[in-house]
């Protein structure tokens, strides 16, 4: 008999590999429906009253549902949470910082953001420069994310950029003249939502300037741009790169590619947004580079795939 990773005994039988405690319970049970318990079952479990996975004593075993098993685990404080969670017991198995598949920042940039914040720069002014959301900057300067990097972490209320009355008037005039929210937000160092609230008069009503009524203008693509975007996606370009190039969101690019938006514009319509597939040689090269310490972000740019794809390739090694 061998031992599973979770501590349960396993051995070979005529029906395949079975758990020893399941077999022991079925062997001594007088119930006609005990035999199916030999194989793994989601609906019915064989529970231990002694909390010893390797135990095969029938007196210590009973039948219960999966919900019963989870309740026992919680009542006996065996749930992997707090100090017993995988993040605490095996931190080496969890990708952190630049190694995380969804990372957009580097450790150097995180230190730079925290240093700039201590010198008076607002989160809204920095988010556009680092191509991340304002909330991501909040989490960095607060120390909620990238805790392991170091640097000065902010406490208390975070600093937000305050516009003067003259800037508010100028912002409203630009929105009224047809400027895009994203362009105004970048120029004034605030978020898109803040621009929308100011332009509508929800905030800073006293500052003056034209108050917008109805829908605010967002960027629209021409039919030629839509055709070009669809052709580039069909050729293998990444959605995130195209979104940045055409000044729209990733979701809008996905809708355009699938024909949910601009259906009349022409160009190749895809059933789903195509993702670039890596060759076997590229996968070997990525794994070799990661083993030598090359950051995920650099490999993502080099092979024109997302950071998540790089992480998935290297996680299987």
pLDDT digits (tens, 9 = 90+) for 86-145: 777 877 777 888 888 778 888 889 998 888 887 777 777 787 778 788 788 888 888 888
Residue 156 tokens read as 């208390």
Asked if 296 and 290 count as a contact pair (C-beta separation under 8 A), the reply is: yes
Share of the chain above pLDDT 70, in %: 84
Copy the structure tokens of residue 41: 């079952």
**CA-CA distance, 279 to 294, in Å (whole number)?**
19
Domain ranges of the chain: 2-84, 165-207, 223-265, 280-315
- Helix or strand run (H / E) with residue 278: none
Q: Which two tokens stand for residue 228?
A: 């070009």
Element containing residue 54 per DSSP (H, E): none
Helix, coil or strand: residue 180:
coil
The whole-angstrom separation of Cα 257 and Cα 255 is: 6
| Average predicted confidence (pLDDT) for the chain | 79
Pick the more confident residue, 198 or 238. 198
Q: Are residues 216 and 199 in contact, defined by beta-carbon separation less than 8 angstroms? A: yes
Q: What number is the average pLDDT over the span 276-299?
A: 82
Tokens of 32: 């006609």
Token pair, residue 231, equals 């052709």
Q: How much is the average pLDDT of 151-171?
A: 77
Instruction: Give dist(CA 253, CA 244) in Å, integer.
Output: 10
Please give the structure tokens belonging to residue 239.
Answer: 């959605």
The tokens describing 274, both together, are: 């195509």
Phi, psi torsion values for 7, nearest 5 degrees: 105, -5
Residue 317: band (very low, low, confident or very high) from pLDDT cuts 50, 70, 90? very low
197-224 pLDDT, tens digit each: 888 888 888 888 888 776 565 667 888 8
pTM over 0.75: no
Say if residue 184 is exposed, middle or buried (CB neighbours under 10 Å; 0-12, 13-18, 19+).
buried
User: Could you tell me the two tokens for 105?
Assistant: 């920042």
């Amino acid at each position: 008999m061998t031992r599973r990773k979770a501590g349960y005994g396993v051995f070979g039988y005529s029906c395949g590999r079975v758990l020893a405690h399941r077999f022991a319970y079925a062997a001594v049970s007088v119930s006609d429906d005990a035999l199916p318990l030999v194989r793994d079952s989601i609906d019915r479990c064989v529970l231990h009253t002694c909390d010893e996975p390797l135990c095969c004593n029938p007196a210590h075993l009973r039948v219960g549902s999966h919900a019963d098993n989870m309740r026992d685990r919680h009542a006996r404080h065996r749930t992997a949470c707090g100090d017993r969670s995988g993040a605490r017991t095996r931190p080496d198995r969890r990708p952190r910082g630049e190694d995380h598949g969804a990372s957009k920042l580097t450790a150097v940039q995180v230190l730079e953001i925290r240093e700039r914040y201590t010198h008076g720069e607002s989160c809204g002014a920095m988010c556009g420069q680092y191509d991340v959301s304002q909330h991501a900057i909040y989490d960095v300067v607060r120390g909620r994310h990238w805790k392991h990097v170091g640097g000065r972490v902010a406490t208390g209320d975070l600093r937000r950029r305050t516009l003067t009355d003259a800037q508010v008037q100028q912002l409203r005039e630009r929105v009224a003249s047809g400027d895009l929210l994203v362009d105004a937000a970048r120029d004034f160092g605030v978020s898109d939502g803040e621009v929308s609230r100011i332009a509508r008069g929800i905030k800073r009503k006293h500052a003056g300037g034209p108050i917008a009524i109805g829908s605010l203008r967002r960027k629209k693509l021409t039919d030629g741009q839509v055709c070009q975007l669809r052709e580039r996606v069909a050729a293998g370009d990444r959605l995130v790169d195209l979104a940045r190039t055409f000044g729209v969101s990733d979701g809008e690019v996905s809708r355009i590619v699938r024909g949910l938006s601009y259906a009349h514009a022409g160009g190749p319509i895809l059933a789903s947004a195509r993702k670039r597939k890596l060759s076997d040689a590229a996968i070997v090269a990525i794994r070799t580079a990661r083993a030598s310490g090359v950051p995920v972000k650099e490999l993502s740019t080099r092979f024109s795939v997302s950071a998540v794809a790089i992480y998935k390739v290297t996680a299987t090694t």
